[in-house]
Amino acid sequence: MKQINSIKDMQKLIAEEKRAGKVIGFVPTMGYLHDGHLSLIERAKKESDVIVVSIFVNPLQFGPNEDFDRYPRDLERDEKLALKAGADVLFFPDTKEMYPKESVVTVSVNKRVDALCGESRVGHFDGVATVLTKLFHIVSPDYAYFGLKDAQQVAVIEGLVEDFNFPINVIGCETKREVDGLAMSSRNVYLNDRERQEAVHLNASLIKAEKWLLEGDSGETEQKMIKYLEEHTSGVVDYCKILSYPELLPPTPQSKRLIIAVAVKFSNARLIDNVILDNILCRPESEEETCSVR
């Protein structure tokens, strides 16, 4: 596995691989890899010739009171895991390499950010879109792989690629879970023993919500999720929402997919989870009214 920390060297290597007719698969990460990340690498290995994994903890997507300085980092560990999973290139630029001076232009996301994580993390997705714009230009991938645990991020990235005409196929991959159902996350290491046991109830609340929707109880589902999480965890419920996907708007009769999403703040970690439903579960009597999901 080649290890590169220079943008110029990364672009030179990609140009050589492209001239050789190689298909480039890209897995952008912030490091501290877990099985969820590794499953993306393994998926990319099946569909691409050269697999690039980037590790960069992007300061632009952290708010002033968030965990940028505490975000777990272990490059040596990540190198071994990425190699074992099948990565061909590890790209790990530092902050000075990615942002050598104050940016003249950044990316501002106008839609799909007024709900869920975007509602409380103002500017977060601007930072995500800015760094991915840079990484997409540096790596020039044919395929880019992202976990659907961060479904709002995937929705924003799909919009970025479409609006800016990147010749990239965005592949959203199923959430990888622990045996007990907890969505894998680099931030899970922040949970204490009690919170780790409680965290399984995020996924449990989604399973219950899907059942309630199938039973036609859409009007109370969000509140029932909140009550369930308050009764079964010591965390603070940030949101429980049912929205159209990928638009992230209140569902309408035309909605093809729905997302049920949840976020809970524990003492040192904010966890998110979701489920995306392909069938229409919400059908108001009038086409003018939105679905009654509260």
Domains of the chain, each with CATH number or no CATH: 2-173 (3.40.50.620), 186-277 (3.30.1300.10)
148 is in an annotated binding site: yes
Using the structure block, give the residue that is written with the tokens 């540096």.
Answer: 138
Polymer length of the chain = 294
185 is in an annotated binding site: yes
State how far the alpha carbon of 218 is from the alpha carbons of 27, 241, 262, 284, in Å: 36, 11, 16, 11
pTM of the model: 0.92
pLDDT higher than 80, residue 219? no
Rounded Cα distance between 106 and 101, Å, is 12
What is the mean predicted confidence (pLDDT) over 16-43? Answer: 97
At residue 20 the predicted structure's pLDDT band, cuts being 50, 70 and 90, is very high
Rounded Cα distance between 216 and 211, Å, is 9
Contact 116, 26 (CB under 8 A): no
218 vs 167, residue with greater confidence: 167
At residue 214 the predicted structure's pLDDT band, cuts being 50, 70 and 90, is confident
48 is in an annotated binding site: no
Q: Output the average pLDDT for the chain.
A: 93
pLDDT higher than 80, residue 1? yes
225 is in an annotated binding site: no
> Is 201 an annotated catalytic residue?
no
101 is in an annotated binding site: no
Catalytic residue among 37, 124, 137, 232: 37
218 is in an annotated binding site: no
Contact 183, 269 (CB under 8 A): no
What is the mean predicted confidence (pLDDT) over 132-156? Answer: 98
At residue 254 the predicted structure's pLDDT band, cuts being 50, 70 and 90, is confident
147 is in an annotated binding site: yes
Calculate what percentage of the chain has a pLDDT beyond 90. 87
Q: What is the pLDDT of residues 66-114, one digit of tens each?
A: 889 989 999 999 999 999 999 999 999 999 999 999 999 999 999 999 9
At residue 175 the predicted structure's pLDDT band, cuts being 50, 70 and 90, is very high
pLDDT higher than 70, residue 287? no
Rounded Cα distance between 32 and 215, Å, is 40
N-terminal to C-terminal alpha carbon distance within the chain: 49
pLDDT higher than 70, residue 231? yes
Look at residue 259 and give its three-state secondary structure: strand
Using the structure block, give the residue that is written with the tokens 């879109």.
Answer: 129
Q: What is the pLDDT of residues 259-285, one digit of tens each?
A: 999 999 999 999 999 999 985 555 544
